[in-house]
Amino acid sequence: AEPGMPMRNRAVLTSSLGPVSAEWTTRVCCWSMEEVIYVDCRAKGADVGTSWRDAYTDLQRALARAAVGCGCEIWVAQGEYDPGRLPEETFVIPAGVRVYGGFAGNESSRQQRNPKKYQTILTGAADAERNETVVRMSNNSSLDGFTITEAVSYGIYGNEADFTVENCRVVNNQQYGICAQNGDVAIKWCEIMNNGLYGIYHAGEGYALTIDKCRIVQSGRYGIYNRFSTPTINNSIVSRNGYLEQGFYGIRISNPTYNPRVFCNTIVYNKLEGIFFADNGTTIDPNDKNWPDIQNCILWYNNSGGMQVAGFDANTLPQYCCIYNPADPNGTDYTLNARNNFSGNPGFAYGDPNNLHLAWNSPCKDRGNPYHTIDDVGLSDMDGEERIVDNRVDIGADEICSCDEDLSEDDIRHPLDWDSDGVINNIQFGEFSRAWLSCEPNFPGDPNNWNPVCNLDKTGDSEHKIDLGDLAVFCENNPQVWLWRACWEQAQMNRFELIACSMIGEGGESMRMAMPIMESREITPAQEVVELDPDVLEENILLILEEISKSLSEETENLDARYEIKAFLEDLLRDLQNNKG
């Protein structure tokens, strides 16, 4: 057909896993090999994929179009998409095709998207009989900005294919998050979480696996399993993996083709050792093995406080690392050994194992290899902050950065950040308003909603009751606390060109300050904080305003402070009502 002329094309997608889908009859009009194909499950237009208005509503039709050479880039708007209702059906990304999610459905450039805000979900659970594999990658293909979930076997699978996965969440798949064999694979800026067996599995002699700025957590067996191929793992968190059955390692590297590289990672709280290495070559010369190069890493409290690595000596192989030592159970020894490692507490800013940012005064600050440059460790840390600050890299996946000229506690964490998410917003105020006018159980009054974290004013009559004194503390220095955001959280938002977020519910709310270095190595569960329903929150604010108005008419002390609190709550109420409208 001539350019611009429609043609009939019957596209059938297949794979070694079996037929991918039923046949489609798809009208294909190839204007350019470089054209963008649009997909939006909510679109009401012509359903031809040529614009957001006329987007395909089915991702499979867009993939079929790309598979016959009519477009090498697919943009997918927010929503949920399934590959089909048969277990063997899957989304096959054709060779050379790039597929992007995270669009609202009105963007004109990729830089305008926001995968965190506009979630684009590829699911294997659209039917009771789930899909074996949600996505299959082909050679030189790319998947960027999706949540891939609920596969029976593989969230993402590739065999004999080089491919890239970026800005994706691969979560809640029954066996493998990402599984690849005999191909070079790059996984960047991804969260791989709660997968039944393996977070990432990669195998193939002579092939390479690159993992950068990822969170691989809560895999049933291994966070990362590498067999025969050569891994490079940088700036990533590998945490709380291996709790299935008798226990497994955070990272397992077996028989690599070349020397693996493990730089600037935080490997903590895994069931067995953080890193296991095995090389079963024919030689018995230990100098002839492809030993992993481990530098600038935190290996902390894996193996229930036992040894942190297996298959090699933690004292002679890693360099410039913080490595827990069972002989130093309280983590107080910061003496450097011959390899510049120490066993003292790394100084996480939070007691929450879900948040592994370093405190502003962490001993890991500026303690990495002084000769490493961005060529060794990359441009940015796990949040997108500058990777090397003050001319020397920090140990672990997190680089401690300042929002202003001087690094201080308030760049990292705020004591009112009860849910450890990096923002102070309506979630915190909702928790406070729920506790309003409650009393400690041992004192007169209503104890039902008592929450000790809301007891901010421990002087005078406020000591055992949540009242105006506590509200005054909550609102103290309001411009510096409310709508305040941690530097690392802001850096995560800045990775995409985001439009202004609304104050309530969208996350554009705050910053935070840091706590001192965590002294205990105990894993402390995060304070359970539940966001209130907007209607309930509005009702609670009105009740508190009523109490303040009453106090203004009856008392004459501290009027200026009470008027400021009243103005603060009125602004909050107005924003809440505008957001609801």
- Tell how far CA 184 is from the center of its chain: 23
Structure tokens at 198: 């393996």
Measure the CA–CA gap between 362 and 483, rounded to whole angstroms: 26
Give residue 452's identity as a one-letter amino acid code: P
316: how many CB neighbours lie within 10 A of its CB?
Answer: 12
Q: State pLDDT tens for residues 501-542.
A: 332 233 333 222 222 233 333 333 344 555 567 777 788 788
Whole-Å CA distances, 268 to 192, 212, 303: 15, 17, 9
pTM over 0.85: no
Q: Kindly give the pairing relationship between strand 388-389 and strand 392-393.
A: antiparallel
Measure the CA–CA gap between 319 and 341, rounded to whole angstroms: 6
Interval 266-294 mean pLDDT: 85
Tokens 């003292």 identify what position?
Answer: 344
Q: State pLDDT tens for residues 108-133.
A: 999 899 998 999 999 999 888 899 99
Q: What are phi and psi of 172, to 5 degrees?
A: 60, 40
Measure the CA–CA gap between 328 and 235, rounded to whole angstroms: 26
Give residue 92's identity as a one-letter amino acid code: V
- Whether the per-residue pLDDT at 573 is higher than 50: the answer is yes
Give me the residues paired with residue 389 across strands: 392
What pLDDT is attached to residue 444?
Answer: 85
What pLDDT is attached to residue 498?
Answer: 39
Please name which of 515, 301, 361, 528 lies closest in space to residue 434, comparing C-alpha atoms: 528
Q: State pLDDT tens for residues 209-255.
A: 999 999 999 999 999 999 999 999 999 999 999 999 889 999 999 99
